Amino acid sequence: MVKASLLETARKLEGMGTAESVSRTIGISQKKAIELIHRLRKKGFVRTEGGGKQKRFYYISRQGLSGGTSYYNVINKHAPIGTGVWPLQDYKVHGRKVTEEEALIFAIKSNSIRTIIAALSLFKHITNWALLSRLAKGELKREVCALYDVAKKIMRVRRMPKRFKESAIPRKEDKYAYIVSKMGSDDFGKIETAWKVRIPLNMADLEEYRR
């Protein structure tokens, strides 16, 4: 059983941090902060990214021991270092694997810019386009295509089948959809026009993908 004090510490540190930020939050030296992080990792509360020439980041979640797989687990698995998402409330799926296709749809519906940015990497791993087509209906499929075109500008992605793309082409009478309410882009206007989707991202938001 995990000690209550360790669980409370994980709660205080929840989210993305470094040894320096843990040190400041808890009020201990960096050496002790690293020792604390190791203790939390042993209990399943911490995932580490980076190291070597890259800055080391720690993703800390008190829900690490609750079992199951979450949509955020899948998103964070593929996200660039520094863009992972660890919300205060996670959504666990038990008894089966969460697919990249499901995680992508979850991210688009999240109304969270940070989650959407982290999820763009999923386009490198989407293989079941038939499943994605079933999950994305109406304007949601247009949103998938718009974000796919954004992702293509910053990384290599898996090829989207022509049939999927053609099935999402907006009609004349379709109104613009917003991925995040009342937010559009200064940099992706052509993509917005092509899909009648307002994209809540600019190129500056995607710097982690360009490093």
**Predicted confidence (pLDDT) per residue in 64-73, tens digit:** 545 567 888 8
Q: Work out the pLDDT band at 115, boundaries 50, 70, 90.
A: very high
13-27, 67-81, 131-145, 197-211: least confident range: 67-81
Class of domain 1-66: mainly alpha
Does 3 have pLDDT greater than 60? Answer: no
Single pTM value for the model: 0.73
Residue 178: which of 151, 157, 150, 147 has the closest Cα?
147
Beta strands 54-60 and 15-17, pairing class: antiparallel
Outline which parts of the chain fall under CATH 1.10.10.10: 1-66
Alpha helices in the chain (DSSP H): 4-13, 19-26, 30-42, 71-78, 100-109, 113-119, 129-135, 139-154, 162-167, 189-195
pLDDT score for 186: 97
pLDDT at position 1: 39
**Nearest partner of 137 among 164, 175, 157, 98, judged by Cα:** 164
Report residue 2's pLDDT band, with 50, 70 and 90 as the boundaries.
very low
Are 140 and 165 within 8 A, CB to CB?
no
Q: Tell me, what DSSP letter sits at residue 186? A: S
Instruction: Give the tens place of pLDDT for each residue, 146-198.
Output: 999 999 999 999 999 999 999 999 999 999 999 999 999 999 999 999 999 99
